[in-house]
Amino acid sequence: MERGRRTTLNAEHLALGGRMVVFAGWEMPVQYEATGPLAEHHAVRNAAGLFDIDHMGQLSIAGPDAVPFLNALLTVEIADVPLWAAQYGLLPYADGGLVDDVFLYHLDDAWWLVVNAGNREKARRWLQAHATGYDVRVEDISDTTYMLALQGPKACDILQHVTNTDLHRIPFHTAARGEVAGAPALISNSGYTGEYGFELYFPAEDALTVWRSLLDAGKPEGLLPAGLAARDSLRFEAALPLYGHEISATIDPISARLGRFVHFDKGPFMGRDALLKIALEGPARKLVGLEMIESAVPREGYLVQADGQTVGRVTSGMKAPTLNKFAAMALVDAELAVPGTELDVVVREKPKRARVVPLPFYTPAYRRRPTTG
């Protein structure tokens, strides 16, 4: 295996039978030998999973001009983000493509941006390059800040065993300061699996203590350590975008159905005119869900065709473990992005029939609206 950067828990993953791969320059567990990605996936859906996600980056933005600075660069209205809120947002280029998608935290002493591992240095340089004229400080705090994700319907009960913070007082997409296993922590009710859960930020030197404490507290509840494979299948079923797949420097958020996170009415911001043009004229292609009618695995990059003509490309695809169905997300010509439309995915040079379906593929019980007869 090629070498990459190692998180503090690298030896712990190896001791637990983690199969390590290099992802975005980091050695990370893709799965654990004793369980495997399917068991880890189902643990998150039915109990809980614990993910080491310290490969992701954290940037601190502080100073008197932090709000106008961030408002000029992000697509969301920063003034509308209340204290202690956790807000998903997009960091666009001038042409509407994306530097990255981020999670923004409004803290009492700074704003934090959580960025993708492969975009950490790029995002930092982008922010610093546009800080001229603003009284702000952009600091990369990734090396001193550790990040874990505890996800699943039993995540709250498990975490409550190792913190005195009342977790029921942290609503979805908000955060609070507290302690986890004795370590000072930012506790965020958020995640990237489609399930209820928490993302935890704390000093890097406390990583082993927090990790082991959570695993011990969760063992009776069925908690498993989970790797990148389960993380990908979980986010796929929930139709959560992955940079470089559903969004990128060349895939804009309007085409990716993320227009609700582009707040045109807030005034000027980087990429506004380009994105407004796409929104007004309509994107040439749209992200859709595809459910395979014929049994086949629709992998990333596979062509999508209509009547033998290429009309798009798969951005992510797999057999969805929760649904036990072959499915994909794909960018296709906008006029074909209608549920019920039948298309072909070219699998090993053979067209396999698929049907456009609504996204997400899976919605957890706590987010489902009750139905009436």
Q: What is the mean pLDDT of residues 6-29?
A: 97
207: pLDDT strictly greater than 60: yes
- Please, where in the chain does CATH 3.30.70.1400 lie? 57-140
56: pLDDT strictly greater than 50: yes
Q: Give residue 364's pLDDT band: very low, low, confident or very high (50, 70, 90).
A: confident
pLDDT of residue 261: 98
Q: Give residue 368's pLDDT band: very low, low, confident or very high (50, 70, 90).
A: low
Strand locations in the chain (E)? 5-6, 18-23, 26-32, 49-52, 57-62, 86-92, 98-106, 111-115, 137-140, 145-151, 175-180, 183-188, 197-203, 224-225, 285-292, 303-306, 309-320, 325-333, 342-347, 350-357
76-111 pLDDT tens trace = 999 999 999 999 999 999 999 999 999 999 999 999
Q: What is the widest separation between alpha-carbon atoms in the chain?
A: 61
Question: HEC states along 322-352?
Answer: CCCEEEEEEEEEHHHCCCCCEEEEEECCEEE
102-155 pLDDT tens trace = 999 999 999 999 999 999 999 999 999 999 999 999 999 999 999 999 999 999
19 token code pair: 């199969």
pLDDT of residue 370: 41
pLDDT of residue 373: 28
Q: Would you identify the CATH topology of the domain 5-54+143-237?
A: Gyrase A; domain 2 (3.30.1360)
DSSP code at position 190: -
Please provide the average confidence, as pLDDT, over all residues in the chain.
Answer: 96
- Please, where in the chain does CATH 3.30.1360.120 lie? 5-54+143-237
50 token code pair: 């614990």
| Cα separation, 53 vs 295, whole angstroms | 33
The phi and psi torsions of 220 (rounded to 5 degrees) equal -65, -20
Q: Give residue 1's pLDDT band: very low, low, confident or very high (50, 70, 90).
A: low
pLDDT of residue 113: 98
| Cα separation, 223 vs 217, whole angstroms | 9
pLDDT of residue 92: 98
pLDDT of residue 107: 98
91 token code pair: 């960091």
| Cα separation, 63 vs 133, whole angstroms | 12
Q: What's the CATH code, domain 284-357?
A: 2.40.30.110
pLDDT of residue 3: 86
236-282 pLDDT tens trace = 999 999 999 999 999 999 999 999 999 999 999 999 999 999 999 99
369: pLDDT strictly greater than 50: no
Parallel/antiparallel/unpaired status of strands 49-52 and 145-151: antiparallel
Closest CA to 354 of 365, 371, 311, 368: 311
260-270 pLDDT tens trace = 999 999 999 99
Q: DSSP readout, 117-176?
A: GGGHHHHHHHHHHT-TTS--EEEE-TTTEEEEEEESTTHHHHHHTT--S-GGGS-TTBEE
- 318 strand-pairing partners: 327
Specify the 3-state DSSP secondary structure of 40. helix
> Helices 37-46 and 228-237, interaxial angle, to 10°?
50
371: pLDDT strictly greater than 60: no
Specify the 3-state DSSP secondary structure of 80. helix
Q: What's the CATH code, domain 57-140?
A: 3.30.70.1400
Q: Which residue has the tokens 């929760």?
A: 322
pLDDT of residue 66: 98
pLDDT of residue 81: 97
Task: State percent of the chain over pLDDT 70.
Answer: 98
286-318 pLDDT tens trace = 999 999 999 999 999 999 999 999 999 999 999
Q: Give residue 156's pLDDT band: very low, low, confident or very high (50, 70, 90).
A: very high
339 token code pair: 């549920």
